[in-house]
Amino acid sequence: MRPLVNWKYALVTLERMRRYARELDFAVPDDEEAEIWRLFESQEPELRAGLVERYRRAGCGGFGVMEDLERRITLPT
């Protein structure tokens, strides 16, 4: 996963990583997931909002990403 080349899709990458791990019966390494969250949280608020909006448009949902986001930040409605 590192370096995450297309970081603007970091949250979509996180969802896909979780989905593929479930489908293939693998575990997502904690440090890989933490790196995606570190990248997300290091962005300015405007960029984080853009990442969330991009995820809402491109993500499938159902793999806990939105729930994790809700725990980490206050999401705009």
The per-residue pLDDT for range 19-73, each reduced to its tens digit, is 999 999 999 999 999 999 999 999 999 999 999 999 999 988 889 999 999 888 7
**Residue whose structure tokens are 């995450």:** 4
CA dihedral (13, 8, 34, 77) positive or negative: negative
Contact 28, 17 (CB under 8 A): yes
The per-residue pLDDT for range 3-31, each reduced to its tens digit, is 777 889 999 999 999 999 999 999 999 99
> Which of left, alpha, beta for 31 (phi over 0: left; psi -120 to 50: alpha)?
alpha
> How far is Cα of residue 1 from the mean position of the Cα atoms in its chain?
12
pTM, entire model: 0.84
